[in-house]
Structure 1
Amino acid sequence: MPGTQQPYVAECNLTPVASPFERRQFLKLGATVLSAGMLPNFASFASATSSPQVGLQLYTLRDWMAASVPATLKMVSAVGYSEVEFAGYFDHSASEIRAILNGEGLRSPSAHFALDKMISDTSAILDAAQEVGHQYIVIPYLSKEQRGTHIDDYKKLAQQLNEIGEACKKAGIQLAYHNHDFEFERRQDQLPFDVLLDETEPGLVCMELDLYWTVKAGQDPMTYFNLHPGRFKLWHVKDMDANGEFADVGTGNINFEAIFAQAEKAGVEHFYVERDRTDNKLQTIQQGFLGVSQLLG
């Protein structure tokens, strides 16, 4: 299978290029944290909170990934994560990514790929996904143009997703769709997210439910678990502060305990810590690992 370099996929239209300061900051931190003297601290932390199911969406560390994919994945593994979800390969081939993952004892059940690329480069992306070992390919975001202006635009999207999902299924991969809050904005008295759930085939398209964006939109994830049991195979776990902004998992006000109690009904298989913007990446991924580990008991 060819080692196809895949384009970076950005959520929320954030620029995925590390600034010179960010690169210097990461490389300095990496040289310190990944030294032999610091690794035992991470190992002790991971041992005390270990859960084989905790994953990290690497979009959280996109600036570090831009600086060094191997160093970033080494740090992620040292914190204790066993799974990662990619949002771009950052100039590495699929075979190189697989080798780095193997070297760090990591696996990558899923990855984000932009809708337009999934339409134009389906075969190449599926080849790369098989090479890395992804079981899911996730459509992460819709541009304003892709969202359109009418509910019928989402009905057309649902059919597109069914078609892409069929191609994925033939390759032994499951297609998933990741939500933000705009899928819950009413159009012609319908919610786009409901249309996507109702008009995609469960066997072809599942959902990666972003818990933050769902709650941000005023929706109850558990209502969707009851309406569509088994459809939510992947979760993004990020918290919300009192002002409705991002917070590290376990430090905000989202009732994760109640949500996680319904995990079996939801059908979730992979839990990914994520925070779209953070001033302290290392603290965010440590707190996220701790918070989700505790929720999984």
Structure 2
Amino acid sequence: MKRFNEGQMRVSAQLYTVRQRGDLAAQLDLVASCGFTDVETVGFHGLSPNEVAACVTSSGFRVRSAHFDWEEFETCLEDIVALLGLLECPVAVMPWLTPKVRPDTAEGWRAVSGQLAEWADHLSSHGIRLAYHNHDFDLVGETGATPLDIVLEQENLSWQPDIGWLAVAGCDIARILDRFASRIVSAHIKDADPAAGIGDERWRDLGQGVIDWAPVLCALADSACTDLLVEHDETGNHRRTLETGRRFLMDQMAERCG
């Protein structure tokens, strides 16, 4: 069985999981009480870059990466640069294309990937990497011709796989992780039961879905991944989800350390 090197990957919390739990300070307080010291942020929380940075700094968290949607990259790119500089955060992630701007042709996806590559060049000049985060709509098609394949044709883009969405899309998860191993910067670790429906009822706390985690974590250990980010799209119990997720991953990693 593949073993993790000590300190190879950190277990962090994705703040999208707790977005319903008040303002940024309240979200960070909850995450801290669940044992996390590292987070991935989402957008600006209605604050200025300086205000976000001050809140995060006072909480004592380290921001491992930060999500910004397509519109934020289009309109607030310099604010993104400023915020990540203040946070000393080296990774920005583009996680979502709304249906109204989502391409339905290969040519459209090449235009998307080209724009992402331009933003990646700009961010790189500030010491920031840009990663693309998948859902299931970008995994449709033959191997080598999916939207994700088209995006990752751009060599300056990294990938943040969402394991739950890979499962929902019916992928051979370990195989696709192996294909893009050198491009993986971090991973959203969430569990699923794809047979449970087509909406949020599919999501599960870690270890309570149908994903076979041993080969997935082995594939991530063989990749360039540095962060395992606990996430749940629509949990009914935020504390339980965070504590269960952190404990599950720490236990899984402990079994493979040494």
Aligned to 1:254: 211
CA shift at 1:56, angstroms? 0.8
Identify which of 240, 245, 250 aligns with 1:288. Answer: 245
Amino acid at match of 1:217: A
Structure-to-structure mapping, 1:23-102, within 5 angstroms:
53-64=10-21, 67-102=22-57
Amino acid at match of 1:205: L
Provide, for residues 52-78 of structure 1, a one-character-per-residue CA deviation record: whole Å limited to 9, x for no partner. Answer: 8111110111111xx232232122112
CA shift at 1:160, angstroms? 1.0
What is the DSSP-based 3-state SS (H/G/I as helix, E as strand, rest coil) of the residue aligned with 1:252? coil
Provide, for residues 78-100 of structure 1, a one-character-per-residue CA deviation record: whole Å limited to 9, x for no partner. Answer: 21111111113323333333333
- State the structure with more CA Rg: 1
Task: Judge conservation of contact 2:109–2:151 (CA < 8 Å) in 1.
Answer: yes
Matched, 1:205 2:162: no
**Residues in 2 aligned to 1:185 and 1:52: alpha-carbon distance in whole angstroms:** 29
CA shift at 1:182, angstroms? 0.2
How many residues in Structure 1 have an aligned counterpart in Structure 2? 241
Q: Which has the higher contact order (CA 8 A, sep 6+)?
A: 2
**Residues in 2 aligned to 1:124 and 1:196: alpha-carbon distance in whole angstroms:** 24
Task: Judge conservation of contact 1:238–1:273 (CA < 8 Å) in 2.
Answer: yes
Aligned to 2:88: 133
Matched, 1:148 2:109: no
**Residues in 2 aligned to 1:225 and 1:178: alpha-carbon distance in whole angstroms:** 13
Task: Judge conservation of contact 1:249–1:291 (CA < 8 Å) in 2.
Answer: yes
Amino acid at match of 2:247: L
Residues 96 and 124 (structure 1), Cα distance of their counterparts in 2 relative to 1, 3 Å cut: closer
Provide, for residues 126-178 of structure 1, a one-character-per-residue CA deviation record: whole Å limited to 9, x for no partner. Answer: 11221122211110101123222211111111111111100010011000111
TM-score (norm. length: structure 1): 0.76
Task: Judge conservation of contact 1:84–1:108 (CA < 8 Å) in 2.
Answer: yes
Matched, 1:218 2:135: no
Aligned to 1:158: 113
**Residues in 1 aligned to 2:178 and 2:248: alpha-carbon distance in whole angstroms:** 25
What is the DSSP-based 3-state SS (H/G/I as helix, E as strand, rest coil) of the residue aligned with 1:63? coil
**Residues in 1 aligned to 2:169 and 2:223: alpha-carbon distance in whole angstroms:** 19
Identify which of 269, 280, 289 aligns with 2:226. Answer: 269
Amino acid at match of 2:154: T
**Residues in 2 aligned to 1:88 and 1:237: alpha-carbon distance in whole angstroms:** 20
Cα RMSD over matched residues?
1.9
Aligned to 2:78: 123
Matched, 1:179 2:131: no
Amino acid at match of 2:35: G
Residues 121 and 95 (structure 1), Cα distance of their counterparts in 2 relative to 1, 3 Å cut: closer
The unaligned stretches of length 5 or more in structure 1 are 1-50
Residues 109 and 214 (structure 1), Cα distance of their counterparts in 2 relative to 1, 3 Å cut: same
Structure-to-structure mapping, 1:229-248, within 5 angstroms:
229-241=181-193, 243=196, 245-248=202-205
CA shift at 1:101, angstroms? 2.6
**Residues in 1 aligned to 2:177 and 2:213: alpha-carbon distance in whole angstroms:** 14
- 4+ residue segments displaced more than 6 Å: none
**Residues in 1 aligned to 2:232 and 2:159: alpha-carbon distance in whole angstroms:** 19
Residues 115 and 68 (structure 1), Cα distance of their counterparts in 2 relative to 1, 3 Å cut: closer
Amino acid at match of 2:246: F
CA shift at 1:221, angstroms? 2.5
CA shift at 1:114, angstroms? 1.2
Task: Judge conservation of contact 2:39–2:63 (CA < 8 Å) in 1.
Answer: yes
